[in-house]
Amino acid sequence: MTDFEPILPVVVIDDARDAEPLARALVAGGIRQAEITLRTAAALGALRTMSAIPGITVGVGTVLEPEQAEAAIDAGAAFVVSPGLSDAVVAVCERRRVQAVPGVATATEAMRARSLGLRTLKFFPAESSGGPAALSALSSVFPELEFVPTGGIDADRAPAYLALPSVIAVGGSWMVPRTAIAAGDFAAIEALCRAAVGVVR
């Protein structure tokens, strides 16, 4: 099982050559984990590079199919995040002994995930699903579940989620802007990471 820290950068990367300096900027900024989304052709290459760098735990996001989960785990993913709950993706993760973190937004979805033995879930899309108030209500009937809310969260909104006892981490891209990665502005990313970590102190 992954021991999530409070801030989980959700990364969209367009060039795998940016993966190493990005990982080093995250670590220098005080963040030791990242989710690489499968939204670009560079994602698996970036995952492979970043997962080999000491001091950072790297998982994969936007996993829709079991084949994607297999490929990501082969590339070094330490956890697998999906926008929704796929039994087939969860089955791959169980067989490969890698943590699955599927997305849920309703009590019915949380119950399905719970019936599969899952205890760490992504609350997605967080902001448009009712934000901290909705997640607080959901958590009240599932005290054994822990959540990683993602979707529309920024530096201003993160503290309200992190104040909930059920929230172990907040996922977002505000500290890893796609444009800054593409521009090679890793100093800016390091500064944004430091600020993000400061939010939870």
Residues designated as active site = 35, 122
Helix-then-strand count for the chain, H and E: 9, 9
Give the residue from 130, 108, 190, 69 showing the smallest Cα distance to 121: 108
CA 64 vs CA 2, 12, 20, 107, 149: distances in Å: 20, 16, 26, 21, 18
**How far is it, in rounded angstroms, from Cα 134 to Cα 176?**
26
Give the residue from 80, 178, 179 showing the smallest Cα distance to 120: 80
**How far is it, in rounded angstroms, from Cα 28 to Cα 164?**
27
